[in-house]
Amino acid sequence: MIATLPTRSDVRNAIPDECRQPNLLKSFAALAFSLAVTGASVALAATLLPMTWAWTPIWVFYALVSGTAAVGLWVIAHECGHGAFSSNRALRNTVGFILHSSMLVPYFSWQHSHAVHHASTNHLDDGETHVPQRSHDGVVQPPRSSLATAGILTRTLLLGWPAYLLAGATAGPSRSTANHFWPVAPFESELFPQRWHARVWASLAGVIAVLGLLTMWAVLAGSVVPVLALYLGPYLVVNAWLVAYTWLQHTDTNIPHFSDPQWSWLLGAFQTVDRPYPRVIDRLHHHIGTTHVAHHLDARIPHYRAKQATQAIAAAFPDLYRFDATPVTAALWRVARECQSVTETANGWYFSEEPADANLWDNSADSVVA
């Protein structure tokens, strides 16, 4: 189906104005909810679970529960970085800095690189995260084996986030390897120009402070085991959730990527896809996976307004709004198995597999196929 690509003004007008208005009471209520759920899981584990090898399966379960709950705090910090938590810059940056630093995330550094991701969504050269490789020989690669797929999933979910922060993994080829903690030699990058260095150093200081507190905790406890059990396990789960969300929001066999001159900001933003996360997960994570299209079309929308904005977008642009009803675990397996590289189609768009209706795709400036 060929649909007309709207203007940015059309999109802005389709979203009710109240969706862009942060409510400080609701923002802090969401923060309190995530703090309470995460804190309760940590307190119960610290009080009730013996730190012995025999209890390892229960500790793994705790990590899954606590880490999953803590993603809600991550999402709140993410909203602070976008300005959606509060209209007061100092307040939102203070909240975001504390929350992200507590999870070893360099707040200001990632705020900037994430803004670049929003500015160049699904751009094959300038994109900032999960940018696929081009297949230069024009051959669609066969799906990975089940064993290889499992390996890719494990590696990506466990190591993908630190690899991105330390070495710019999955960023587009136009960007040199960027380190989010050290903006000068030997890791200098155009991603963090001189004017951003002070904020990168501040981000590093926040992470070092938390590492210092974790070290002090281990010293006072007389063992590193409590830190590993209560903090490291959930930390790894938070990272896995973050990578899975970002991967699935912008990657699938039917989601195109672009290079110039085909790419435009709006065309890239409309390739974001919402997915059917379980209700409990969606609530804990403040709807980050079910309303991400709206977030990319206007990052100023707080999560408690995002459902309303999503409904408005779906109603105004039914041929462009993307929702994939595939269960999330099945979609993640499909993406890891089949999305290895992208191949250019006749209209200059890139897919991991040739779309069945490729002959209908219109390459004109004011049209897009959905």
pLDDT of residue 306: 97
177 is a domain residue? no
- Hey, what are 90's tokens? 């100092």
157 is a domain residue? yes
pLDDT of residue 300: 95
Amino acid in position 51: M
193 is a domain residue? no
pTM score: 0.93
271 is a domain residue? yes
Model confidence pLDDT, tens digit, residues 192-226: 999 999 999 999 999 999 999 999 999 999 999 99
Amino acid in position 347: N
In this prediction, residues 309-330 reach a mean pLDDT of 96
Model confidence pLDDT, tens digit, residues 102-131: 999 999 999 999 999 999 999 999 999 999
The total of structural domains in the chain comes to: 1
Domain range spanning residue 109? 2-163+200-369
115 is a domain residue? yes
- Hey, what are 292's tokens? 């991400």
Residues 6+ apart with CB under 8 A from 32: none
Query: What is the C-alpha to C-alpha distance for residues 211 and 14, in angstroms, rounded to an integer?
Result: 45
250 is a domain residue? yes
For 315-348, letters b (16+ CB in 10 Å) and e give: eebeebbbebebebeebbbbbbbbbbebbbbeee
pLDDT of residue 34: 98
Model confidence pLDDT, tens digit, residues 15-66: 999 999 999 999 999 999 999 999 999 999 999 999 999 999 999 999 999 9
Give how far Cα 356 sits from Cα of 146, 269, 359, Å. Answer: 25, 22, 8
Query: What is the C-alpha to C-alpha distance for residues 111 and 78, in angstroms, rounded to an integer?
Result: 8
